[in-house]
Amino acid sequence: MNKTVIEVHVRAVLPTSGGCAVFIGNTEKVFIIYVDQTVGSAITMFMREISKERPLTHDLMAHLMTAVGAHVERVIINDLKNATYYARMIIAAANELQQKKIIELDARPSDCIAMATQQKAPIYVSQEVWDEVEDMSDVLRKMEEEGLKPEIDPEGEAEE
């Protein structure tokens, strides 16, 4: 079944009392997914392209995928139920004979966003989720105007 999806980017990551708020969207709309502190930090490090002394969990996953000839092709935030987001990670893999395989995994949106940011893969949101989420563009704009410096996606694109 093909569903309409909208491409989005991580617009900002801000610490909160319970973790981090990840602002996701484009020039039309921005919404927030709340993630735990460790994943929020990982997303920020991937956005800033900060190298770590030792591999973190998302680095380990990426190294394993590379070792077996796979990479994140795209992620899709595909559902929202009872204030909980759901996502799918689409992985493309090729074996030593260059035979290709597409793997689709259910995953936490926070991990999907971190892996997509790390591997510079596109992030999409289903039209159904897009239509349901509240637009937080004004909140992000106001925070920027008040001098808060959220981590912005280098491309400048506009609760689990």
In a domain, 56, yes or no: yes
Domain assignment present for residue 114? The answer is yes
Q: Does residue 80 lie within any of the structural domains? A: yes
Pick from 44, 9, 2: nearest CA to 28: 9
Give pLDDT, residue 157: 38
Residue 45 lies in a domain: yes
Asked if residue 10 is part of any domain, the answer here is yes
This prediction's pTM: 0.85
Number of domains in the chain: 1
Are 125 and 113 within 8 A, CB to CB?
no
Domain of 104, CATH number, reads 3.10.690.10
Per-residue pLDDT reduced to its tens digit, 93-114:
987 777 899 999 999 999 999 9
Q: Has residue 33 been placed in a domain? A: yes
Provide the residue range defining the domain that includes 82.
5-145
Residues 6+ apart with CB under 8 A from 66: none
Per-residue confidence band for 130, with pLDDT thresholds at 50, 70 and 90? very high
95 within some domain: yes
Per residue in 4-56, pLDDT (tens digit) is 999 999 999 999 999 999 999 999 999 999 999 999 999 999 999 888 888 88
Domain annotation covers residue 150: no
